[in-house]
Structure 1
Amino acid sequence: MISKQNKGPKSLIAHRLLTWLRLSNQPLVKVYRGYGNDKVLSINGHVLRRSALPRTNYRDNKLINLLAVMRLFLVKPYPNTRVRLSCAGQTAEVFADENGFFQCDLPLPAPLSPGWHPVRAELLSQTLPTETVLGTGEGKVLIPAPTTFACISDIDDTFLVSHSATIAKRLLVLLTENAHSRDPFDGVVAHYQLLAQADSGPATNPFFYVSSSEWNLYDYILEFSEQNGLPDGVYLLSKLKQFHQLLQTGKTKHHTKFDRIKRILETYPDMRFILLGDDSQQDPVIYSSVVQQFCHQISCVYIRRIKPANRAATEALIGQIEAAGVPCCYFTHSEEAHQHSIRAGLVAS
């Protein structure tokens, strides 16, 4: 630890500010939940120079909530760094990109058992004469069990009330609420739990949560999901943003979301999927494209009705999805989706 007498006034102020904001300047490897099949594991994460310490207090105080979200966007990537990843006895090294993001396809010599498997990551020095570990991180990767189907779900305004169609409302909720005070839609958790448990035997049908929300909000979303009892799953979010981009939260090029979904479907070519989203942004367009390319893998599409102005365009896209032979439910209340799942034979009554 650096003693105070060795710090200049500016360094002391910066140190105190970081401490007050619960930010750390220790290098960190953030490993997100990954997924794999019998041949390869897909692992991704960020290397950070500055990171937010985990939130432990969820008092419903708007100022504290504001500061807590702001610090998630005060993170600082550690670009172009070397990371060693280890899982199930296999090791690989990758380089983070200019945004500190890394993605690794780790080959498997033999299939792993279904379930979650731990991942360890090490940030390796590239300048010191001997190999030095500058920071570490831990995560886990999912090998799905053979089940009836899997689910790919959006997050904002699909199960988490977010007001994504109106940026002012979205920011107000995001900046003044916290992961414990935010609300899911009525009935959505029960519907998702039924989908997870439907005809899956001792295992559960896997969930993949694919969103345009930034990686900055990963822990926030994970805490919300666990707090509300949503099915455990893999979270695939969007490009990390910096503080000056905070007002642009949720605004991401949506083709990257299609690419993430495509990658999941290609990883499990023999698995069937249910897609869940909403009409506030681009889910109907994306899901229609997914159905056109992967019709044989899609069992059903669910779209929550959020934005009245998008209804006509969404109904036209739903017509394309149904014309391809894939059932679709365009609903306002989760109970409608639940009843549709019963009629479609996806869940028990």
Structure 2
Amino acid sequence: MKPEPLRTFGRKLLKRSRILRFAAKQALRLTERPTLVVYPGFVAGGKLTMLGRVLEDEGVFDAPHSNSVIRNLWLTFKRYETDEIGGARIAWRGLGRSGEAVSDTNGYFRVEVEGFAAAEADGPWAPIDFTLETAAGYRFDAVRVEGQARLVSPRARFGIISDIDDTIIHTGAFKMLRHWRIVTANSPEARAAFPGVSRFYQALCAGEAGPETNPVFYVSSSPRNLSDIFERFMAQKAIPLGPMLLRSLSDDALGWLLRRHRGHKDVMIDKLLADYPNLRFVLIGDSGQKDASVYAAAVERHPGRVLAVHIHDVRPKGHAAGIVEAELKRIEAMGVPTTLGRTLRDAARHAEETGLAAAGTRAGVEEEIAAEDEKRERFGRFPVIVQP
């Protein structure tokens, strides 16, 4: 069977199984109260874009950090085995406007509204309030959540597009066993940031309008099921928050399991460059998920729009030069500077020398790396699990 018919069959089967599961849960009175999950959105070209989801609240998103392997495995299972609520009505209000949205069969709802051009000068973030009004088959008290929309200042000089796994956060995504060891830890406390990331990203984002003048967007093949963990992780590690364009497992679970990255990242990068036609971008990724190839293709498709490409080298020491180096040479041949390293030292040096970051950026990154080197807990053979 060809891939597309197989996907269509899979979606129909999944939809049918959800209907039957919901009917069984209702009959047995096992449904949980609904909750709203709202992802960070943005205003671009006067258009507000927000995405959210209506799910049964199974205590996953606010679960405290635990070192129990069994507890974490259970929470991880529930994080991916979500009970979506379709047909729910959600009211929203923000930036002087209001409206309604309806969740689809996967529980997702989307707000896309034009006419917010003036708001882009007010940044960096605007609160958008969401209220769950109806959800057929459920009884619940008021459910209200405040979402955030990224507003980009007219004084922004450029934007940043960054991967997440093995770029800012140590996941071992290039090795399945390492990746799953961390994915099954259901809290941001169980994840480690690469040293220098916080200082470097802060330096890139800072500008005339304040510390978040230049926007950062996170384009990753990770599923949206991990969005809240990433958001809390960034807040804890002082890494600038930005809209996260992650993958929907409902649309392409097979592609995620088979670790296909190209299609999703290509589409999201193209979308951002189209949404912000007046911004040029710095692209940051790693050597483990074909980011160099993805970015080379983006530079080719969008001449003049990319300022620099930085790749974090997570390959084993002693590896032979290969595809990553070849793709970076290809990027440089198109006139875009690149760096490749196990730390962000060279990236910070380049940003400082080219005026993309303020003087002292490299020293700050070096300081953060040195401080991390002094700690007892190191990644070692497997990533460290940080104790509370």
**TM-score tier (shorter):** 0.7 to 0.9
Correspondence 1:200 to 2:208: yes
Q: 2: distance between equivalents of 1:14 and 1:282?
A: 46
Give a deviation string over 1:306-331, Cα, whole Å, max 9, x none: 23569411122112211221111112
1:316 aligns with 2:323: no
Q: Using structure 1 for the length normalisation, give the TM-score.
A: 0.82
In 1, distance between residues paired with 2:87 and 2:231? Answer: 27
Alpha carbons of structure 1 residues 277 and 36: separation in structure 2 relative to 1, 3 Å: same
Determine whether 1:269 maps to 2:269.
no
1:334 aligns with 2:344: yes
Equivalent residue number for residue 161 of structure 2: 152
> 1:97/1:56 Cα in 2 relative to 1: closer, same or farther (>3 Å)?
closer
Alignment partners' CA distance in 2, 1:311 and 1:81: 52
User: Which of 40, 43, 49 pairs up with 1:33?
Assistant: 40
User: Paired residue for 1:306, among 308, 311, 314?
Assistant: 314
> With structure 2 as the length reference, what TM-score do the two structures score?
0.74
Q: In the superposition, relative to structure 1, how do residues 181 and 134 fare at CA in structure 2: closer, same or farther (>3 Å)?
A: closer
Deviates more, 1:59-68 or 1:327-336: 59-68
CA distance in 2, matches of 1:78, 1:329: 45
Out of 43, 68, 74, the residue aligned to residue 75 of structure 2 is: 68
Shift of residue 121 of structure 1? 2.7
- Structure 1 residue 280 corresponds to structure 2 residue 288: yes
Q: Answer yes or no: is the 8 Å Cα contact 1:44–1:101 preserved in 2.
A: yes
CA separation of 1:276 and 1:55: change in aligned 2, threshold 3 A: same
What is the distance in 2 between the residues matched to 1:93 and 1:207? 28
Deviation at 1:180?
1.0
The residue aligned with 2:49 is 42
Match of 1:142 in 2: 150
Q: What is the CA–CA distance in structure 1 between the aligned matches of 2:226 and 2:124, rounded to whole Å?
A: 25
Is this contact kept in 2: 1:58–1:178, CA < 8 A? yes
Matched, 1:107 2:117: no
- Residue 161 of structure 1 deviates from its aligned partner by 0.7
**How big is the shift at 1:156?**
0.3
2:182 alignment partner, SS class: helix
Residue deviations 1:44-93, cap 9 Å, x none?
11122345443353244433333333331232112354444332232344
Structure 1 consecutive aligned stretches of length 4 or more whose deviation exceeds 6 Å: 10-14
Q: Which residue of 1 aligns with 2:175?
A: 166
In the TM superposition, what is the alpha-carbon distance from 1:32 to its structure 2 partner? 0.7
Question: Deviation per CA, 1:179-213, whole angstroms, max 9, x where unpaired?
Answer: 1132111222222122122x434352211111111
Partner residue of 2:264 out of 256, 262, 271? 256
Contact 1:300 1:327 in 2 (8 A): yes
Partner of 2:354: 344
Contact 1:85 1:93 (8 Å CA) reproduced = yes
Is the Cα–Cα contact under 8 Å of residues 91 and 106 in structure 1 kept in the other structure? Answer: no
Query: Does 231-240 or 148-157 show the bigger shift?
Result: 231-240
Q: Alpha carbon RMSD of aligned pairs, Å?
A: 3.2
Gaps of 5+ in 2: 1-24, 361-388
Report what 2:190 is aligned to: 181
More displaced stretch, 144-153 vs 53-62: 53-62
Residue-by-residue CA offset, 1:147-197 (whole Å, 9 max, x unaligned): 222211100000111111111111012224731132111222222122122
More strand by share: 1
The letter for the 2-side match of 1:142 is R
Give, as a single letter, the amino acid of the residue that structure 2 aligns with 1:114. Answer: G
Q: Are the equivalent residues in 2 in contact too, given 1:92–1:106 (CA < 8 A)?
A: no
AA in 2 matched with 1:35: F
Which consecutive residues of structure 1, in runs of 5 or more, have no partner in the other structure?
Answer: 1-9, 16-23
Q: Secondary structure, in 3 states, of the residue corresponding to 2:244?
A: strand
Q: Is the 8 A contact 1:29 1:45 kept in 2?
A: yes
Q: How does 1:227-238 map to 2 (within 5 A)?
A: 227-238=236-247
